[in-house]
Amino acid sequence: MAELTRDDVAHLARLARLDVGSDELERYREQLGDILRAVARVSEVAAKQVPPMSHPEPLVNVWRADEVRPGVDRDEVLAAAPAAEGGRFRVPRILDED
């Protein structure tokens, strides 16, 4: 793998619309080189026998089936509420709007 040059880093900075000073070019050249070498190492490890995948473990749908089931009786719930009106919970007004 060819090493990045200061000109390569300056070109990348221009493409990314970054204002990189000449004093920063060497530091970024080294850091980008480290990243590219790490990616190259990962590419070496990836075996041709392993199919491309998005997750290391198979994904399965863990949701339960959507089934209608009986719920709690409305009158029982409203009977336990501090205040009810018209078949609904009555709550204090929180806005001063009419």
Q: Is residue 18 part of a domain?
A: yes
Q: Does 65 have pLDDT greater than 90? A: no
Question: Mean pLDDT over residues 50-65, rounded?
Answer: 81
Q: Is residue 14 part of a domain?
A: yes
Which residues, 6 or more positions from 45, have their beta carbon under 8 angstroms from its beta carbon?
A: none
SS3 for 48? coil
Sign, CA torsion 21/26/31/34 = positive
pLDDT given for residue 24 in this prediction: 93
Per-residue pLDDT band for 98 (boundaries 50, 70, 90) equals low
Q: Is residue 51 part of a domain?
A: no
Q: Is residue 89 part of a domain?
A: no
Q: Is residue 21 part of a domain?
A: yes
What residue numbers bound the domain in which 13 lies? 6-45
Q: Does 5 have pLDDT greater than 70? A: yes
pLDDT given for residue 81 in this prediction: 93
Indicate the residue type of 61. N
Counting every residue, how long is the chain? 98
The answer to whether 18 and 41 have CB atoms below 8 angstroms apart is: no
- In the chain, DSSP finds a helix count (H) and a strand count (E) of 3, 2
Q: Is residue 65 part of a domain?
A: no
How many structural domains is the chain composed of? Answer: 1
Percent of the chain with pLDDT over 70: 95
pLDDT given for residue 78 in this prediction: 94
Q: Is residue 24 part of a domain?
A: yes
Under DSSP, the state recorded for 89 is E
Q: Is residue 20 part of a domain?
A: yes
